[in-house]
């Protein structure tokens, strides 16, 4: 792929963006009328990715609007630099929606990151919209396993600080790792994430965006008769 920038340059950008990240602001439920979720899927072999965004009315959690889009991959997957790979595609689909979410849940970490600025924080700063990182696995830090009931949580500690929480969003399933992205504090992030869950491990906005991004990839594969990353047929 034609790489947009180097990891060194990306690191410098993160350093410059870091002081704009705000995780000290409580966000009440009344502050959120619309909540969005974003995710990206990839097509093996070709340098293409499919992003999706789904917006829900909060706290009713009724689907309001969804958009998808495809983009070329211009940055490799490097742990700690996911934003430089996925943010461009995500920003593109967010620009397509008519509704204005007051909060966006991102598939990945927020400040529970080596340098305190994961993809959720990165997007929050660029959009100037509160964001929360919801990841399926840990990138940095340590945590104690919470009890198995819905809503149980325990802090993620990294560099002697509480940067997030391991949250049980559904009874008996693996926890998800929640961390503030930008414009919201940890307690609010955990509370709001839980309020977005409808019986599944992942909060609905992210779950639906994930599904939609996959559908967009599949339709692309079908449209171009792609399989195993190669071309079959015309």
Question: Smallest gap, in angstroms, from Cβ of residue 189 to DNA?
Answer: 14
User: How far, in Å, CA of 31 to CA of 139, rounded?
Assistant: 30
Contacts of 173 (CB under 8 A, 6+ apart): 201
Q: Considering the rule CB under 7 A, would residue 135 count as an interface residue with DNA?
A: yes
Q: Considering the rule CB under 7 A, would residue 144 count as an interface residue with DNA?
A: no
Residue of the chain from 37, 133, 141, 183 that contacts DNA (CB under 7 A): 133
- The full length of the chain comes to 234
User: How far, in Å, CA of 27 to CA of 183, rounded?
Assistant: 8
Residue of the chain from 113, 168, 182, 207 that contacts DNA (CB under 7 A): 113
Query: Helix, strand, or coil here: 170?
Result: coil
User: How far, in Å, CA of 164 to CA of 134, rounded?
Assistant: 10
Single out the segment in contact with DNA by CB under 7 A; choices: 1-9, 58-66, 90-98, 118-126: 118-126
Query: Helix, strand, or coil here: 183?
Result: coil
Nearer to DNA, 50 or 56 (CB): 50
Q: Which of positions 20-59 make contact with DNA (CB under 7 A)? A: 39-44
Site mask for DNA (CB under 7 A), range 56-95, x = bound: ---------------------x-xxxxx------------
> For residue 160, which phi and psi values (nearest 5 degrees)?
65, 15
Nearer to DNA, 118 or 180 (CB): 118
101 with 35: CB under 8 angstroms? yes
Query: Helix, strand, or coil here: 55?
Result: strand
Q: Considering the rule CB under 7 A, would residue 124 count as an interface residue with DNA?
A: no
User: How far, in Å, CA of 183 to CA of 22, rounded?
Assistant: 5
Question: Smallest gap, in angstroms, from Cβ of residue 140 to DNA?
Answer: 7
Q: Considering the rule CB under 7 A, would residue 180 count as an interface residue with DNA?
A: no
Q: Considering the rule CB under 7 A, would residue 8 count as an interface residue with DNA?
A: no
Single out the segment in contact with DNA by CB under 7 A; choices: 51-59, 101-109, 158-166, 183-191: 101-109
CB neighbours of residue 94 within 10 Å: 22
Which residues contact DNA (rule: CB under 7 A)?
A: 39-44, 77, 79-83, 107-109, 113, 118-120, 133, 135-139, 213-214, 217, 221, 227-229
């Amino acid at each position: 792929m034609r790489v947009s920038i180097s990891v060194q340059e990306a690191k410098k950008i993160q350093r410059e963006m870091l002081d704009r990240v705000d995780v000290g602001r409580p966000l009440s439920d009344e502050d959120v009328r619309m909540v969005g979720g974003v995710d990206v899927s990839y097509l093996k072999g070709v340098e293409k990715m499919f992003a999706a965004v789904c917006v829900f009315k909060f706290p009713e959690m009724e689907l309001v609007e969804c958009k998808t889009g495809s983009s070329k991959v211009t940055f490799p997957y490097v742990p700690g630099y996911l934003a430089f790979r996925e943010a461009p595609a995500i920003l593109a689909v967010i620009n397509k929606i008519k509704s204005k979410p007051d909060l966006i849940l991102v598939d990945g970490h927020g400040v529970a990151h080596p340098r305190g600025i994961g993809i959720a924080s990165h997007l929050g700063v660029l959009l100037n919209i509160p964001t929360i990182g919801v990841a399926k696995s840990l990138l940095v830090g340590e945590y104690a396993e919470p009890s198995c009931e819905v809503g149980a949580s325990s802090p993620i500690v990294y560099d002697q600080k509480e940067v997030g929480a391991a949250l049980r969003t559904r009874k008996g399933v693996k926890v998800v790792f929640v961390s503030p992205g930008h414009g919201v504090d940890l307690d609010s992030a955990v509370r709001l994430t839980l309020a977005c869950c409808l019986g599944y491990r992942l909060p609905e906005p992210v779950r639906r965006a994930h599904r939609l991004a996959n559908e967009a990839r599949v339709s692309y594969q079908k449209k171009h008769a792609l399989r195993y990353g190669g071309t079959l047929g015309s």
